[in-house]
């Protein structure tokens, strides 16, 4: 298959669309990103990469980081993790408080904010403190992307900390139900640090490979998680990776993927490749508008879908 041609066609088709979406402005440090940008990359199992557009530009990975923290938590706690977090779609916006109240502080899944905050808490407990937990999260992402330079933007993390009232509320609500072990401020700070990690589409498409290959990095053979755990993570990405638009993403694209409000979407094509697309303008559900369209075009042009 001529992947370069397909990516070039997709970039051209999305560039013709007049509505590019709206950048996330509830995090002030992200409000000034140029919505015209678009990049897309895919990485095959032998390491070959194909890219188009702004694929070297670093962007805030935001909720895509939740795939990697969920991976670590599942690795260390196995199915015990599900005592504190569910694995059902929420059908609600990513930062909703309502469901958490009537479900007694147990978040629906690890990809809504409450669930990801809970996962971060579990990792702080596992590693003993928040500094070590952050270091280990960063190191894991450096390992899977094979990119030692991966780091977080202090400006974005601080901006989130200064405006993260809802996340604080979610954490305090869980704490009131005894479903968080550590200090709320510490947990939220650690959560914002991993959301503020900056990567480009090349790095992220590479980083998804272990999920496309049963938990094992197909390039260097590193075993990250079990085959069953990889299967579960892909299942939760498919059903919960795009919040209340998860059904729509499965309907149109048909691949496990995770979005972030920075405009990135990272996708797994089982047994074939990792993909990442980035365009900062979002749709009403907080997922990249052009990114979602580009992935639908990719699935249609290549016939790649799990269905
Ligand atoms: O907690 C937040 O609001 C952000 N750090 C992450 C949100 C996010 O990326 C949701 N994604 N679509």
Ligand 1 within 6 A of 195 CB? yes
Say whether 65-195 and 3-62+197-301 share the same fold.
yes
Residue 42 above 90 pLDDT? yes
**Dihedral angle, C-alpha 294, 41, 142, 256, nearest 10 °:** 40
Looking at 146-263, list the stretches that DSSP marks H as alpha helix, in order from N- to C-terminal side. Answer: 154-163, 165-176, 184-195, 201-207, 209-212, 227-240, 246-252
130 is catalytic: no
261 is catalytic: yes
Residue 92 above 90 pLDDT? no
**Tens digit of pLDDT for each residue in 235-270?**
999 999 998 899 999 999 999 999 999 999 999 999
CATH topology of domain 3-62+197-301: Beta-lactamase (3.40.710)
Looking at the chain, list the stretches that DSSP marks H as alpha helix, in order from N- to C-terminal side. Answer: 3-15, 65-77, 98-102, 113-127, 130-145, 154-163, 165-176, 184-195, 201-207, 209-212, 227-240, 246-252, 289-302
Band the pLDDT of 94: cuts 50, 70, 90.
confident
Taking the centre of ligand 1 as the mean of its atom positions, its distance from the CA of residue 260, in whole angstroms, is 6
Ligand 1 within 6 A of 63 CB? yes
What pLDDT score was predicted for residue 96?
A: 87
CATH of 65-195, one of 3.40.309.10, 1.10.3720.10, 3.40.710.10, 1.10.10.10: 3.40.710.10
Is the overall model pTM greater than 0.85, yes or no? yes
Ligand 1 within 6 A of 60 CB? no
Taking residues 99-104, report their average pLDDT: 94
Residue 95 above 90 pLDDT? no
Ligand 1 within 6 A of 261 CB? yes
Q: Which of 92, 111, 260 to mutate to test the pocket of ligand 1 (most atoms within 8 A of CB)?
A: 260
What pLDDT score was predicted for residue 109?
A: 97
Burial class of residue 31, CB neighbours in 10 A (0-12, 13-18, 19+): exposed
Structural domain boundaries in the chain = 3-62+197-301, 65-195
50 is catalytic: no
Contact between 263 and 14 (Cβ < 8 Å): no
């Amino acid at each position: 298959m001529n992947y370069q041609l397909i990516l070039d066609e997709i970039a051209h088709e999305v560039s013709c669309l007049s509505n590019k979406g709206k950048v996330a402005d509830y995090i002030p440090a992200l409000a000034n990103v140029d919505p015209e940008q678009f990049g897309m990359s895919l990485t095959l199992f032998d390491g070959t990469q194909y890219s188009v557009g702004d694929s070297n530009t670093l962007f805030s990975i935001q909720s895509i980081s939740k795939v990697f923290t969920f991976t670590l938590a599942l690795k260390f706690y196995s199915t015990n993790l599900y005592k504190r977090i569910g694995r059902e779609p929420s059908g609600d916006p990513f930062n909703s408080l309502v469901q958490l109240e009537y479900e007694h502080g147990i978040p629906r899944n690890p990809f809504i904010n409450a669930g990801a905050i809970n996962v971060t808490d579990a990792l702080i407990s596992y590693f003993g403190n928040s500094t070590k937990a952050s270091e280990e999260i960063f190191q894991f992402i450096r390992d899977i992307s094979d990119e030692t330079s991966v780091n977080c933007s202090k400006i974005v993390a601080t901006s989130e900390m200064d405006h993260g009232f809802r996340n604080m509320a979610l954490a305090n609500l869980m704490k009131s139900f005894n479903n968080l072990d550590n200090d709320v401020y510490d947990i939220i700070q650690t959560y914002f640090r991993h959301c503020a990690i900056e990567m480009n589409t090349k790095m992220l498409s590479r980083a998804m490979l272990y999920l496309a290959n049963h938990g094992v990095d197909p390039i260097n053979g590193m075993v990250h998680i079990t085959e069953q755990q990889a299967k579960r993570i892909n299942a939760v990405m498919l059903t919960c990776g795009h919040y209340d638009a998860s059904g729509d993403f499965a309907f149109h694209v048909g691949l496990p993927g995770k979005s972030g409000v920075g405009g990135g979407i990272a996708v797994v094509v089982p047994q074939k490749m990792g993909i990442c697309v980035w365009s900062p303008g979002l749709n009403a559900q907080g997922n990249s508008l052009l990114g979602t369209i580009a992935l639908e075009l990719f699935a249609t042009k290549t016939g790649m879908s799990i269905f």
